[in-house]
Structures are given as structure tokens and as C-alpha cells.
Structure 1
């Protein structure tokens, strides 16, 4: 089946959140199953110079009174064809955060639609988040091209209907007050990145003012849990770690912990409980809860805390000030660094995710893979991926709390800190976390059934594994 992923991110080239991990890893898995999966991505100025891209575009087009070019390459370390949408508006170093993001990504979506109509025609366009939300609207009258729209974060809904009418083509039949709402109405199927989040967004607490629309189209909304690439995130062979290890070699993690403490200027104490957060510094991620309890928790215990990420300037400032008060026990790294994030997962004892809401989350999956016990709030995909630890029956893979309240987070932290001091039970917990299946294996089968359903094929049919490679080579030649 010919499937085009259209997205603003694709790991490892452009990644700001979970979307990049999904498009980069899921496309590879689906292609291995036999689907002819390709990716359509903006040609960001930040893409590595080592990426081999043909000097000649494979196609030139125009949209919204602007000309653009499409170049072709392959997603690094895969056989997934990658189309790069080139225009000067994407020449800068940033993926998001520009004043004209609404225009840039609507233009990008329009260019992707033109590409599908005029150059390479997929059977399914898999759209990711509001950046591609107009594609299902435009494809509504193209019955030979189906659309699947994935919600990675409902809080970001794109430009309003009034703004869309100023900058692009809005068909006469279009309904919806913004890009996200229009995508939900016109996509053939809508997916979220976890089953729990698929149900939560139909309620006022999580629906971001779209709960009534989502409830009305509930028969076409499906939650499929995210996964990660277990070959990429593998502590037994990860070259970015000072010491590799497996679930049978947990003692080797102590070397990573000592190395991380030295690298980040923390006191080199092997018994100190090291708490980590690798996250965007936004309100969704529960940073306000952390700021309310962390000072007291560090004063009460001998723990250490490390944070890696960027985001809201207010949160950055507050964390910097707190780190200054706990010199040697707290490190705040305001940057994006994939290699450092892996060393943090491999060297810290727990990964903190007290999210206000969480469509799925990738950090807890990576943390478990590296034997870093997750501490999460029971919401969204965190419910579906982290089982609460029961010390009596020795079950579970992490610590969970329910209410979005400082006291609940503080209590959960104390319980985990106390559990850390029972070494045998703690190592058993780490082992269960590391051996949890966080791959795409089951989820890829769910996506296969979804694609078959929108193409009116038998739900369980799986294409021949050489079909995608053969068709791709024929098209590229």
C-alpha cells in the first residue's frame, strides 16, 4: 500500500517532541511489513549538512502564490524515501516558534497536497497534527486518496477559519472553526497516540473545546499506543553511554551514574537518589507541580535532580534559581541534546513525568528501556504504558499518582525514594521495566488494520515484505 507521512518532524533529522519519534520509527516498521511508506518533511535549514540530497529537485510546484521545490533523499539509517519541501520560509534553524508558523505550515500542507495530486499519488496520506490539518479537507473530493489524521497534542489547533480564508484555499463545503477542527471532520480516520487519551479528549477536562465534535465522530476515532525503536534505544549497544549494560547487568549502571554526576557537576555520591526530567518546559508537563514540591523534597532527602530541556522562559528562570540554591545536587541543562538525554536515562534512578495531560509520552518508554524507573501521573498514555508498582506482589513498572496536586506528587516521590533503599526489590522493578515491550510490534499491526479499513481491504491482510521496496525502486527510477 502506498502511504505518505506528512509531518513537521521526523527523527533523527527534525525532532521537537514525540511526533518526530513516531514518524521516524513507525515509517520504518511499516515499510518492513511491506507497505510503500514515504515521508514528506519541510527542508529545514537545521538539517545536517551530511545528509545526502540530490542537487536537482524531483518536482517543482506552486501553492498560495508561492513557488517551491521538492527534493528527494532517504531517512538516515533506513530505506524510507524522504521528500523535502524546500522554500525560504524553512531556511532558518528552528522548527517552531516563528511568528508566521500558521502561514508556513499551511503552505507546507498545501504543497504536500499538490505533490500528491501531480507527482506521486499515495493511496493514503497519514497527516500529523494541525500542521497538516487542511490536507483531509482538500482530499475530501479525491475519493482515490484516503486520509488518516493523528492527534499528537490537541492543545495546539492551528490557525482559525478566518485566518485560513486569508492565506489559503478553503473549499465551499469546509466546516470547522480552526485547522484541527476541520481535520477532525474530514479525515477518514482519526487516531490519537494512546487509547486512554482517545477517550479523555471526548470530555471537557481534556477536549480543549473540541470535546463535542470528538464525541460526535467517536466511531472514527481510534487510540493506538506509541512505541519506540528498540534497536535505536538499546543500552546494551548505545555508543553514547560510558558503559553499556543489559537487564542482567544492572550493576553496570553505577558507572553511568558516576559519569553523569561528574559530567553535570553533581556530588559524586553513588547512593544518592538521582531524579531526572527530560522534557519540554511547558505547562502541560507539570513543571508548576515540580516547582512547588522540589525545594522541600531536596531539603528533606539527600536526593539529586537533573533536568534537560527548553521552553517557557519563566520555568527556565525558576529552575535556574532553584539549582543555584542546591549547588552540587541539582543541574539544569537548558538545551536539546539527544546523546546527553540517553546518558541521563542510563545514569539516573527515576524519570519524572507529572503531566497535566499526556497524549502518550515517549520519555517514559525510553526511561523504562534504560532501567530508569518512571514516576508518572495517571493520565493519557501514561496510564497505558506504566503499571503502578505493588511492593507486596512485586508487580508493576513504575510509580503513579492520580490527582494533579502538589501533595500527591510529593507523596509519590517520597514513596519511590523509600523504595529505592530496598535494593533487591528496586533492581527487580528496574528489570521488569527494561523487559517491558515498548516496541512498535503490536501498534504497527493496529495501524495495518486501520489502513486496510480505509482502503476497504481485509483487516488482517499484510502486504508482501518486498512489495514496498520493489514499487519504491520503480518509482525512483
Structure 2
């Protein structure tokens, strides 16, 4: 199959959220399975700092009365062709934001459509979030090109119809009040990044006003759980951590904990309960719950807290202020630092994710990969990846709570703190998390089924399971 991924992000070149992880990893796996997979993304101003880009474009095109260029290179550490959409609107050293955000991503979508019509024609275009949502609408007139539309976060739905009619071509048959609604109607298949989120967005609580439409198209709506790069995120070989280990030598994590405490200015004590949070600091991630209960938790325990991430100024300020009240016990780092995030996963005892909603979530899977026990709210992809700890039956991988309430979150935190006192049981809990199989191969098999379905190809059946990876029981 010829498959073109069109997206605003692709890790490690441009990554803001989980979309970057998907587009940066899934094409590599699909290409290794024998498919001709390529990626189309904007040529951001910072990309020349990260990879070699030819000075001459491979193709020139026109969209929305704008001339653009397309440059060809490769995704880092792969043979996946990467097409970069070159236009001055993407030259600033940022991915999102700016007054022209809706206009420039509509231009990007239009450019991708022109590229497929005139230069390289795939069998399937895999579109990601509202930035590419007009492509399924335009491709409705090209029946030999099928479209898959993946919703990474339904809260961001893109420009309204009235704005689109002023800046680009809206076909006579187009329906929907914004680009997200239109993509849901015209894509051949709609996916989300976890099975539970696919069900939840059909309800008023999570549907962001599109629940009726999503219920109507439920026959072509499915959820495919994201994976993680188990080769890059491998505690046995990770060069960013102090001490390497695997599930059988998990006790060696203690060296990483002590090193993390020293690095962040915390009181060095390998026996203290060390809590981590690696997240965008926005309402979706449950920051209001953290603010409401963490003072109480830190006041009545000897636990320590590490926060890493950026987001809304209000939540950033709250984290700074809380850290100032607990010197030596709380450390807030308002920045994006990939290496530090790995050291947090490998050094903390638990990772908190009290999300209001969570389409999939990557951090909880990375945490378990490193033997860091997650504490999560049961929503979206967190339901599909983290299961209640049951020490009596030696089952489960973390601690969960259901209601979005401060006391429910605090109760889960205290339960984890109490369980941490029983070292043998805690070690088994860590190992169960490390043995989980979150490889991208599992997700790739599911997407291949979807591609074959929209193309009318016969179901090839489920391939054999991926081979065992180091430190992971499959």
C-alpha cells in the first residue's frame, strides 16, 4: 500500500503532544512491514537545526493564491521519506499559536491535497487532527484515494465554516460547521487514539458538541491505542539515566532516584516516596486537582514532588509558588526537557495523571516502561493502559480513581503511599508494569486492517505477535 501521513507534528522534529509520537513512530513500523509510507508536514523555521534539508525543492505548487515549495528528506534514523511544505508563514520558530494559525494550517492542508493530486498519489491519506481536516472533504471527489482521519484531541476543532469560505475552496457538497465536523463526515474511516476515548466522545460529557455526529458515524469510528518506541525508551540501554536496569534488576533504580534528587535540589533520601508529573500544564491534565490536594499531601507526609512541563501561565505560576513553600521537597521545572523526563520516569516511584479527559496518554506507558507506578483517573486511554493494583492476586499495574474529585485523587495518592511501604509487593507491581507490551507493532497491525477495509482488500488476519523486547514480557 502507498500511505501518506499528513500532520502538523512528527517526533523528534516537531513534537508538542501525542500526535508527534504517532507520526514519528508509526510510519517507520508500517514501512518495515513492507508498505510505502511517507510523511508530509510543515517546514518549520527550526527544522534546519535538526536535520539536513536540500536547498532545492522537488516540487512547486500553488494553493489559496499562494506559491509553496515541497522539499524531500528523511525522518531521522529511518528510510521514511519526509516531505516538507515550505511557505513563509511557517518560518517562525514555533509549531502552533499566532493570529494566522487557522489560515496557515488550512493552506498546509490545501498544499497537501495539491501534492497528492499532482506529484505523488497514495492509496490512503492518513490525516491527523483539525490541521488536516479539509483533506477528506476535498478527496471526496477523488474516489481512488481513501482517507483516514485520526482525532487526537476533540477539544481543538479548527476554523468555522464561515471563515473557510473566505479563504479557501469549500465544495458545494461540504457539510459541517467547522473543519473537524466536516472531516468526521467525509473521511472513509475515523479513528481515535484509544478504544475508550472512541466510546466516550459519543457522549455529551466528552463529545465537545459533536457527540451526536460521532454517534451517527459510529459504524466507521474506532479506537486504536497508541504505542511507544520501546527501543528508544528502554531503561536497559537509555543513555540519559545514571543506572541502567530491567524488570529483573529493578532494585537498581535506586541510583537513579538519588541522582534525580541531587540534580533537582531535593533532600537526598532513597526511602522517601518520590512523586513525578510530566505533563502539559493545562486544565485537561487535571492541574486543578493537583493544586487542591497537593498542599495537604505534602504537609502530612514526607513525600517529594517533581513537576516538569509547560502550559497555561496560571498553572505554571501555581507550580512555582507551591515549590517555594516546600524547599527541598518539591521541584518545578517549567520547560520541555526530554532527557530530564526520562530521568523522572527512571527515578520517581510514581507518576500522577489525574486527567479531566485523556484521548490516550503516553506518559503513563513510558512510566510503566521504566518501573514508575502510575496514579491515574480512569478516563480515555488511561482506562485501556492502567489497571487497578490487586496485590492479593498479583494483578494490576497502578492506582486509579473514577470521579473527577479532589478527595478521590487524594485517596489514590494515600493508597499508593501506603503500598510503597511493602517493598516486595511494590517491586512486583513495578515489574508488572514493565512487562506490559506497548510496542507500536500492535497498533500498526490494527491500522493495516483499517487501511485494507477502506480499500476493499481482504482481511489478512492477525499476524503473529511482535517479538519479545528486552525487559518486556509479551
Q: TM-score, normalised by structure 1?
A: 0.96
Residue by residue, what CA displacement relative to the aligned partner does 1:12-63 show, whole Å, maximum 9, x if unpaired?
A: 1110010000111111111111111100011111225251211110111111
Residue by residue, what CA displacement relative to the aligned partner does 1:85-126 show, whole Å, maximum 9, x if unpaired?
A: 111111111111212111111111110000000001011000
Shift of 1:461: 6.5
Return the alpha-carbon distance in structure 1 between the equivalents of residues 53 and 273 of structure 2.
46
Map 1:287-302 → 2, pairs under 5 A: 287-302=287-302
Report if the CA contact (8 A) 2:157-2:179 is conserved. yes
Return the alpha-carbon distance in structure 2 between the equivalents of residues 266 and 364 of structure 1.
23
Report if the CA contact (8 A) 2:281-2:315 is conserved. yes
Per the alignment, residue 94 of structure 2 pairs with 94
Return the alpha-carbon distance in structure 1 between the equivalents of residues 50 and 156 of structure 2.
32
Per the alignment, residue 180 of structure 1 pairs with 180
Shift of 1:441: 2.3
Residue by residue, what CA displacement relative to the aligned partner does 1:221-240 show, whole Å, maximum 9, x if unpaired?
A: 01111101111111110111
Report if the CA contact (8 A) 1:6-1:126 is conserved. yes
Report if the CA contact (8 A) 1:193-1:359 is conserved. yes
Report if the CA contact (8 A) 1:277-1:307 is conserved. yes
Report if the CA contact (8 A) 2:28-2:80 is conserved. yes
Report if the CA contact (8 A) 1:448-1:462 is conserved. no
Return the alpha-carbon distance in structure 2 between the equivalents of residues 435 and 50 of structure 1.
33
Per the alignment, residue 140 of structure 1 pairs with 140
Map 1:363-442 → 2, pairs under 5 A: 363-442=363-442
Return the alpha-carbon distance in structure 1 between the equivalents of residues 196 and 245 of structure 2.
33
Per the alignment, residue 193 of structure 1 pairs with 193
Residue by residue, what CA displacement relative to the aligned partner does 1:438-472 show, whole Å, maximum 9, x if unpaired?
A: 11222211111100001110121699xxxxxxxxx
SS across alignment from 1:37: strand
Return the alpha-carbon distance in structure 2 between the equivalents of residues 368 and 377 of structure 1.
16
Report if the CA contact (8 A) 1:452-1:461 is conserved. no
In structure 2, relative to structure 1, the CA distance for the partners of 1:63 and 1:268 (3 Å cut) is same
Map 1:206-217 → 2, pairs under 5 A: 206-217=206-217
Q: TM-score, normalised by structure 2?
A: 0.96
1:56 has 2:29 as partner: no
With CA pairs under 8 Å and 6+ residues apart, which has the higher RCO, 1 or 2? 1
Return the alpha-carbon distance in structure 1 between the equivalents of residues 213 and 207 of structure 2.
9
Shift of 1:144: 0.8
1:109 has 2:109 as partner: yes
SS across alignment from 1:170: coil
Per the alignment, residue 466 of structure 2 pairs with none
Per the alignment, residue 233 of structure 2 pairs with 233
Return the alpha-carbon distance in structure 1 between the equivalents of residues 105 and 21 of structure 2.
19
Per the alignment, residue 471 of structure 1 pairs with none
Return the alpha-carbon distance in structure 1 between the equivalents of residues 462 and 301 of structure 2.
53
| Runs (5+) with no aligned partner, structure 1 | 464-477
SS across alignment from 1:110: helix
| Runs (5+) with no aligned partner, structure 2 | 464-474
Report if the CA contact (8 A) 2:13-2:50 is conserved. no
Report if the CA contact (8 A) 1:419-1:426 is conserved. yes
Return the alpha-carbon distance in structure 2 between the equivalents of residues 124 and 131 of structure 1.
17
Residue by residue, what CA displacement relative to the aligned partner does 1:139-169 show, whole Å, maximum 9, x if unpaired?
A: 0010010000000000000001111111111
1:128 has 2:152 as partner: no
Return the alpha-carbon distance in structure 2 between the equivalents of residues 278 and 84 of structure 1.
30
SS across alignment from 2:85: strand
Return the alpha-carbon distance in structure 2 between the equivalents of residues 62 and 27 of structure 1.
27
Report if the CA contact (8 A) 1:13-1:48 is conserved. no
Runs of 4+ aligned structure 1 residues displaced above 4 Å come to none
1:360 has 2:370 as partner: no
SS across alignment from 2:284: helix
Deviating more after overlay: 161-170 vs 127-136 = 161-170
